[in-house]
Amino acid sequence: MLEKLSAKITDAFRFVTGKSTISEKNIEDAVEAIKMALLEADVNLRVVRRFVNSTIEEAKGEKVLRSVDPGQQFIKIVHDKLVSFLGDADPSSRALKLRGPDVITNILMLGLQGSGKTTSAAKLALRLKKEGRKPLLAACDLVRPAAMEQLTVLGGQIGIPVYREDGAKDSVKVYQNALIFAKQNLIDTIIVDTTGRLQIDEIMMAELSCLKETVKPDELLLVADSMTGQSAADIAKTFDEKIGLTGVILTKFDSDTRGGAALSLKTITGKPLKFTGTGEKPEDFEPFHPDRIAGRILGMGDVVSLVEKAQEVIDQKEALELQKKMEKENFTLDDWLTQLRAVKKMGSLQSMLEMIPGMQGQISEEDIDKAELKKQEAILSSMTRKERANHLIIGPPRRSRIARGSGTSVAEVARLIKKFEKMRGMMKKMAKGSKGGMPNIPGMSF
């Protein structure tokens, strides 16, 4: 996900990094390369123009050209621009509007068929359940025959009740009965799965408008497929004009998405991107953080999300320790091994790996390089605990032994240690950076 965009943008920085002074021409070259990268990522042309113009304007100022490290200053500008194009600085703009426990909150899920609407309804329900709420899934997609069944199966998997009426024709009536059921069963949130079509049409919009009138939803979330690029933003715009939206969920963010949808949405629709779907499983669902995604695009990884995700699987204490270790540079090879094993337990492997600083470019689409991971695990397992606790003691004799034990070569062992050292430095910066303030951006990839 996003790796092509990431590779192209970080490549554009070669025009401005590693120089003590940079010229306006250097900036123009870098911006031109970024422009091509954005267009290839299927970002809307209007958005690209705005991005390019505002970046050039800011980057050509005295602050950059005269600064001690102009390359880093330039990267910081691109980072900040990416963040602002991805979303609002204020996180409350992305928070769901949820009512108190005594008043039922209604969430209407909208979207075209195949966008991932039904799956996302279940994912959202699971998330709210984990937050202590009592959600109900209401099966109001009466057009797609399998939708009701799919929702029932998903609800069963995650332990969430599903209200359905077989053979029903009127989604408004189904909702009204779901509301009665909710009141009788102390439900505090109703997530309504609505009808979808392959394309936007008047009949669908009319039905959704009727449903909206009755439901009076607190949230109207459009589920859009990030694989469709900038047309996801166009679809969102139409839904917003016809029905009105409070936010967007971008699905399939784990797949080969080029980034066009995420980067175009806010400018085209003015609506916040609230969540991303990052896999097929109910837990593959993340709140959207513009700064973290910008970090991923710039190859800086997303340690914060990784730690958060880890918290769901590893126990809380362990995860906190991990974060502290990252900050203090106490992160050891032993921690890496623990992390590698934990990653195995977590949802989509690819989306997890891409959160690790510098990993983006290294992941091929077809093969997530499970072989490489296995190799890393083999090398780490062939070390003694003492070695993993302090990699500095691993001199040439130990390296040969580890290589023999893991069925790899001395060069591979050396490479892993080198990679680890870089990763650790990067983690420290990222961990600090995530607490506010911008870290001095490291050499992007390793």
Please give the residue ranges that form the binding site for ligand GDP (CB under 6 A): 111, 113-119, 147, 150, 196, 251-252, 254-255, 277-280, 284
DSSP states along 317-352: HHHHHHHHHHHHT---HHHHHHHHHHHHHSS-HHHH
Count CB-CB contacts under 10 A for residue 185: 11
Helix (H, G, I), strand (E, B) or coil at 113: coil
Nearer to ligand GDP, 351 or 376 (CB): 351
The pair of structure tokens assigned to 311 is 């918290």
DSSP states along 251-296: E-TTSS--SHHHHHHHHHH-PPEEEEE-SSSTT-EEE--HHHHHHH
In the complex, minimum distance from the CB of residue 1 to ligand GDP, in angstroms, rounded to a whole number? 10
Secondary structure percentages of the chain, helix, strand, coil, to 5: 60, 10, 35
In the complex, minimum distance from the CB of residue 175 to ligand GDP, in angstroms, rounded to a whole number? 17
Contacts of 144 (CB under 8 A, 6+ apart): 113, 195, 196
Nearer to ligand GDP, 72 or 119 (CB): 119
Nearer to ligand GDP, 51 or 253 (CB): 253
Q: Name residue, tokens 């990268």.
A: 37
Nearer to ligand GDP, 111 or 295 (CB): 111
Q: Name residue, tokens 């031109």.
A: 32
Contacts of 149 (CB under 8 A, 6+ apart): none
Identify the burial level of 430 via C-beta atoms within 10 angstroms of its C-beta, where 0-12 means exposed, 13-18 middle and 19 or more buried. buried
Q: Which residue is nearest to ligand GDP (CB)?
A: 277
Measured distance CA(365)–CA(274) in Å, rounded? 26
H helices of 201-229, in order, are 202-215
Nearer to ligand GDP, 117 or 274 (CB): 117
In the complex, minimum distance from the CB of residue 302 to ligand GDP, in angstroms, rounded to a whole number? 17
In the complex, minimum distance from the CB of residue 7 to ligand GDP, in angstroms, rounded to a whole number? 21
Nearer to ligand GDP, 37 or 273 (CB): 273
In the complex, minimum distance from the CB of residue 144 to ligand GDP, in angstroms, rounded to a whole number? 6
Nearer to ligand GDP, 89 or 146 (CB): 146
Nearest CA to 343 among 366, 367, 316, 377? 377
Are 273 and 294 spatial neighbours (Cβ–Cβ below 8 Å)? no
In the complex, minimum distance from the CB of residue 110 to ligand GDP, in angstroms, rounded to a whole number? 10
Q: Which amino acid is at 124?
A: L
DSSP 440: -
In the complex, minimum distance from the CB of residue 325 to ligand GDP, in angstroms, rounded to a whole number? 31
Nearer to ligand GDP, 273 or 403 (CB): 273
In the complex, minimum distance from the CB of residue 137 to ligand GDP, in angstroms, rounded to a whole number? 12
Measured distance CA(348)–CA(329) in Å, rounded? 27
Nearer to ligand GDP, 141 or 387 (CB): 141
φ, ψ of residue 166 to 5 degrees: the values are -65, 135
Nearer to ligand GDP, 118 or 323 (CB): 118
Contacts of 274 (CB under 8 A, 6+ apart): 94, 96, 221, 247, 248, 249, 287, 288
In the complex, minimum distance from the CB of residue 219 to ligand GDP, in angstroms, rounded to a whole number? 17
Nearer to ligand GDP, 193 or 240 (CB): 193
DSSP 75: H
Measured distance CA(84)–CA(250) in Å, rounded? 17
In the complex, minimum distance from the CB of residue 252 to ligand GDP, in angstroms, rounded to a whole number? 4
In the complex, minimum distance from the CB of residue 188 to ligand GDP, in angstroms, rounded to a whole number? 24
